Amino acid sequence: MDEKQQYLAKFWLVIGHIPEGRVATYGGIAEMAGYPRMARAVGRCLKTLPEGSSLPWHRVINAKGMISFPEGSPQYQTQRQRLEDEGIIFRNNKVPLAQHLWLGD
């Protein structure tokens, strides 16, 4: 496996470890995986995910606590719906990170 695929695998692992009802930021995931400042690589990682993937990609949001898709996009609504379904509350289209942010165990 190529070196670059290495941290992609780490990202998948970390994302898969995000508990239900919690969210994580791109930078946070990158840092937890041991690759700080690789937030963009995390984004690339998710972007290339197969649709049927079991990865809880919906628990990944940006540092502002908001969904990184344009509002009105089907993906945005899907993600938001799933998060709310897990008990995550949205306040003015953003998530209170102080309550839901997951920083590892």
- Chain residues in the site for DNA (CB under 7 A): 4, 25-28, 37-44, 46-47, 49, 57-58, 60, 62-64, 68-69, 75, 79
Burial class (CB in 10 A: 0-12, 13-18, 19+), 27: middle
Output the smallest distance, CB 58 to DNA, in A: 7
Bridge pairing between strands 60-61 and 24-25: parallel
| Closer of 48 and 105 to DNA (Cβ) | 48
User: Which residue, 75 or 77, is less far from DNA as judged by CB?
Assistant: 75
